[in-house]
Every structure is written in structure tokens, then in C-alpha cells.
Chain A
Amino acid sequence: MDIRRILRSLSASPGISGYEGCAADVIESACPWIDESRRDTLGNLIMLKRGSGPEPRPKIMLAAHMDEIGLIITKIEKEGFVRFTTIGGFDPRVLLAQEVTAHGRQSVHGIIGAKPPHVQDPKERSKTVPLEDMFIDFGFASEQEAAAVLTVGDPITMRRSAVDLQGSYMAGKAMDDRAGAAAMLECLKQLNRMEHTADIYATATVQEEVGLRGAVTSSYGIVPDLAIALDAGFGDMPGVPDSDTIQIGHGPGIAIGPHVHPKLFEAVKRTAEEWNIRYSLEPSPLPGGTDTFAIQVARAGVPTILLSIPVRYMHTPVETLNYSDVAAAGKLLAMFTASVENGFVEGLLCY
């Protein structure tokens, strides 16, 4: 199974926060390497791959969020145009002239428009178009026509298929964090050919973009001995200092910060070095932006670590990554999780 192709289809799948069902179906159907799978009350997809060790086996939670940022309908205008707000952090400047799909009674395609430049005065033209002045044009001729298909609260996703750029670069929507989900699948695929003691709970979480919510309930349900979150990290790009990014095409970032267990950090780093897997260090002084932060404080606490796939142009419809980083993250995850035994897990609790 070519996981790069699965990432392409995952990138195109709709699934804004709270509406991840479709993305979950794609992930589940792409994953023949598991023993069982379930979905919890919030919609988290939890896939268990059992280890070969005697019980009780260590429980490792892998977490990649499957929700994407998107839009939601707030009003249907008399003329059939649709007003919207954002779910998750969108820079309104990236939204103009994007093609979108609204998921109502049926799926319909439209375009994000704004007052045309030639009817704007020069002062307006030198300003950003505010979100509340944008609208979506689905080609409906009236409110009635639009209301037959769409209603306030319907989710809207960017409409864009991932494109292959040069080398292993790909650009598309929702790479944050479908790239993490792809790395998780790469890991399961490799583990399938390996011996591993621990039980692996590969979890595609919901509602990360609106406050790490799926990670809260899924980690409570799994009760992991340790957890590894996979998320998109800021890839290097012009106009952003190198100190705030990780280099794209040079392997995953291993985060350092209060949300990372020091022994887990050392062990993962050592695994990367043993297997010659390239990685960058990603200092995270503000650790609140990923599932790691929620999982760490589940129940009585969980040792956590974060692997970051470098992604450029984060939170735009053209999030760009290098697939080699996804593959490297998958390999690092597999090598590390295969090495985890009860003794290591016990050691994590000794401060």
C-alpha cells in the first residue's frame, strides 16, 4: 500500500473539526495492519495493533489529529450568496478566490468572493478584505434556492487536490495534520514486519484545531503508558527566521519543552541516531498547540513526546511538505515503539 497516495486522498478528504467522519473512514480503510478498531463518543478513531509480549504489555498511544481547519455557514443572503466564519485559525487573506465545497444536504462547490476591485475605492484596495465582507458564490440565484441545499451551520472545506511538486515535495490542504496520520500509517506498516512487545494504539484524534479536545477523551479511554503525538511543525520558508522553523526535507522535528518527557526524548533521539534517521530539534517554549499538551495530563499523567512533520505555509490551502519527512517519522516511530518494553516504561516514572 502506497501511503503517499493515501496521504493525497486524506488531504482531499473533508473533515473540519467536529466533522471528521470522512477522514476517519479513509484512514481506517487504508490500514489493514491492526487487530481491532473503534470510535469513541467524540469520534476519535482508535486502532489497536497488539504486541507479542506477555501481558500486561506496555500501552503506547500514537496520536495524529484528523480534523482540519475550515469554514462554517453563518448566513444565507437574499440573493443566494453565503456568509461564513472560520473553524480554526485562517488568515482571511488566504481565502480570497479559493474554491470550496459546502457539505449540506448535498455537496456543492463554490468560490469565495468579495466586492470586486473595480468598485472599491483606492483606499479599500490597499487594505485586507475583512472576513465578514467575504461571501461564497455557489451560483444560487436566490435564498430559497440556496436554502434547499444548505443551512446555517453546514461545514465548508477548501476544495483542492494535493499536487506533487519537485522531488518529494507535495502541496495541498489539511497536511496539518493528515501528514501526521500518514506517518502513523507508515509506522504501522513497518511494525507489521517487525516484532514488538507493546500494544500500539494508533489514534486519529478529533477537534485538535479548536482545543485539543479529541486527545482529552481518547487518552482517558486508552490509559497509555506513554504517548507520541505527531503533528505538523513550521517548515522553513522565506520571511520567517530559521530559529522559528524546522528544516523541511531533513527529517521530523523532535520537540523539546515542558510537554516532552526527558527520558522519552533521550530514547527517541538515540533511536534516530542508531538507525541513521535524520531529525531536527524543535524547541517548543509554548507547548500548548498540539495533542501532546492534552495527553500529558490525562488521568494521573502520561509521559509524552511530540514528533513534528515540517510543513510550510501552515493553515493555508497550499500546505507544503516533503514526503521523505513523513516516511522518516514513520520509520523512527516504528523503530522506537518496537524497542519499548516494560522496563523502559517503568523507568519513565522514576524521577
Chain B
Amino acid sequence: MLLAQLTDACGGPGHEEQVRNLLRPEVTPLADEIRTDAMGNLIAVRKGPKGNPHVMLAAHMDEVCLMVTSIEKNGMLRFRPVGGIDPRVLVAKSVAVGSKQIAGVIGAKPIHQQQASERERPMPVDQLYIDLGCTSRDDAGRLVNIGDYAYFTTKYEQLNGQLSKGKAFDDRAGCSMLLDLLRRDHNVAISAAFTVQEEVGLRGAATAAYDIQPDLAVALEATAAADTPGAPDHKHATTLGGGPCLTFMDRSVIPNPKLVRRLQTLAQQHGIPFQMRRNTAGGTDAGSISLSRTGVPSAVLALPCRYIHSPVSLLSRADYHHAVELMSAFLHSLAESEVDSL
């Protein structure tokens, strides 16, 4: 399953090469044209009949990770998060550092040697470090460099029932969905953009959209599910297994209402479960795509994902399947639409 390979691969913002290299051979036979741009976006073009709309589908290849910011005298690595990571999830995890994927761990002071008051406060990032088992700066410096990314080492796995476990479902799940969509024939012009640097400000999508000049766009994403104990019902932003999520607004975009309505109607017509995202936090590639050139009508279709931006997250394969079905129905509907109808 490509989703497994895609999530096990490492690709921090600006260093998406592993993911790109997995996708390129898969996409090439499915596309009429393939290109990469100056930022590293991978763009696959499927031609369609003239007169129908040209749709851009975007999924980002990058993931949140850590950056090595200094190598200490004792061989320990100091780091900072790249993208939004709650520092509380970093403690006592294993990581792989740099292009050579050197194994390391983020340790913590033994409970026996702490004051009781220490345990009331989270460990701040500036007190954490990565231990490679090196005993000096020289030792560590031969293996890693300042600026190297460190990644969680979680492996993809299917859990009970319909759930999958892994890191970086945000947004390798989107990449995988986009690939699945390209494998089907929709008789409409599609530019599939596997974008870079979403986690640091939706940056790849901006240049990709400028290049593609789509008539409309949908960002395929993973979004936080908060359907867990401790979160009151009204704060369950999305529910795992409740179907793919449509966004009415997030921090980066107010999706085009006609597009959202069309997706809702299609889901209802085809009996595909879906849910509205009950939260406006976070940003997506749709934000920068919608502002491209003179503007692009854009929407977001996202998979609910528990424990997103942490070392290990969960998604529902039923949601995944329903998201692909809904997007596929949408693409078919475009083949019967005029550009102006949007």
C-alpha cells in the first residue's frame, strides 16, 4: 500500500525529496505531462476536453518535524520544531536525524531525580535534546549537521477495524488520495499538485497555483479530529469515521460557497457520508491557491485524523475511501459542467 510507504518516508518543509521520489514513478504513467517547479512542487497534468473546467487538486508532501539547531559539547543535539508541534508530545520518543537517518532518542530526567514541582510543568523544548549515543561534538558533527531535520520513527500499521496508525497522515493521506484519483478516468482536465512547504505557510501551493492557472481548486488534507475524552461534544472539530470533512472557513480561506454546496449535494446524491468541520483553526493550501493571480474558487476536503501533528496519529480507512469516492463524483460532475457555471 503506497500510503504506508508515503507516511514512513520523511519530508520536512523544503526537503520533500523522499516523498517526491516515491510519487514521481507512480504518477508518471498516469499523467500526460509531469514537471517540478523552482520550489520543488511535483505537478502532474491530465488533459481533458476543451470547454470543461480545469481543476487543480493539491496535497502537500511536507510534514511537521524537528530541526537540529546546535550540537553541544557533549554530543547532544538541541532542536526546535518546524511547524506546529505541541512540545509535550516530544518527550521520550525515538527520532531519525538527517539524510542518513541516524537513530536518536529524546530523553527525560528520571522521575526519581525530579522535584515534585517539576512534574507540574511541561518540559520546555529548550530543555530537551536528541541523544545519538555520541560522546562529543566532533563525534556527532561527523553524523549530523546543524539545520538537519529529525523525524519521528513511527511505522504505518493497520489497527483494529478500519483504523490506520502512522505519522504524517497530514498530508501523505492527501497525496495518496490524489494518486488514487489520478488512477481513475474522469474525462476532465486535472492538474495534480503535490506541494511543498505547506506547514510553514502554504508556500508551495502559491507558486504551483500561479503556474497551473486553474479554473477551480480543491485541497486534499488531513484535519484534527477532537472526538476524544476530555473534549466536550461542541469542541469535536471532526469525528473519526464520520466521513470526509468539508470546510466552511479556516484561518487561511473561506472556501467558495458554490463549490462547498456542490460537494455537499454530490455526497447526498451518492449516499457518501460527510461532515462539516466544526472549527475554523488551521490553514490549508486552499488559502494560498484561492489568492493566486486574480483568484481561484477553492474548497477543502479533509480526512479527520486523531493526534495530528504528533508522533503517531490515527485515520479511518472508511473515511479515506469515502473521500476518494466523493472527489471522484465531483470530478465526473465537472466533466459535464461549463467553466462559467462556477
Contacts and interface: CB of A to CB of B under 8 A. Distances in A.
B190 to A, nearest CB: 32
B133 interface: yes
B94 A163 contact: yes
Contacts of B163: 139
- Most chain B beta carbons < 10 A, residue from A119, A129, A169: A119
A97 B228 contact: no
A125 B307 CA distance: 15
Given A118-B279, A313-B105, A318-B107, A171 B131 contact: yes
B110 A234 contact: yes
A96 B235 CA distance: 20
Contacts of B121: 126-128
B42 interface: no
B76 A238 contact: yes
Contacts, number: 187
A266 to B, nearest CB: 28
Interface string A148-184: 0000000000001001111111110000000000000
Interface stretch (A21-29, A84-92, A268-276): A84-92
Interface string B111-147: 1111000011111000101011111000100010000
A218 B155 CA distance: 41
A164 B306 CA distance: 30
Given A313-B92, A317-B92, A318-B105, A135 B161 contact: no
Nearest to A164: B103
Interface in A301-322: 312-318, 320, 322
Grouping DSSP codes into helix (H, G, I), strand (E, B) and loop, the B interface class, with mixed when no group exceeds half, is: loop
A322 B139 CA distance: 16
A108 interface: yes
A165 B130 CA distance: 11
A94 interface: yes
- Most chain A beta carbons < 10 A, residue from B224, B281, B307: B307
Interface stretch (B3-11, B209-217, B268-276, B309-317): B309-317
B70 interface: no
Interface stretch (B14-22, B28-36, B83-91, B255-263): B83-91
Interface in A72-122: 77, 79, 81, 89-94, 96-99, 108-111, 113-119
A15 interface: no
A320 B281 contact: no
Interface residues of A, number: 64
Interface in B225-281: 226-231, 235, 237, 241, 279, 281
B333 interface: no
A164 B103 CA distance: 7
| Number of chain B interface residues as a range | 35 or more
B203 interface: no
A347 interface: no
Given A127-B121, A312-B131, A166 B107 contact: no
A165 B105 contact: yes
A116 B228 contact: yes
A115 B228 contact: yes
A117 B112 contact: no
B104 interface: yes
Contacts of A312: 107, 131
Contacts of A1: none
B231 A109 contact: no
Contacts of B314: 111, 137, 139
Interface string A289-309: 100000000000000000000
A111 B312 contact: yes
A237 B107 contact: yes
B94 A160 contact: yes
Contacts of B229: 77, 79, 81, 115, 133, 135
B157 interface: yes
A311 B287 CA distance: 48
Contacts of B106: 318
Contact of A93 (B123, B230, B237): B123
Given A116-B224, A171-B94, A237-B131, 9 more contacts: A93-B119, A93-B123, A111-B165, A113-B307, A160-B94, A163-B94, A163-B105, A166-B102, A316-B91
Among all A-B residue pairs, the 3 with the closest Cβ atoms: A169-B133, A165-B133, A115-B230
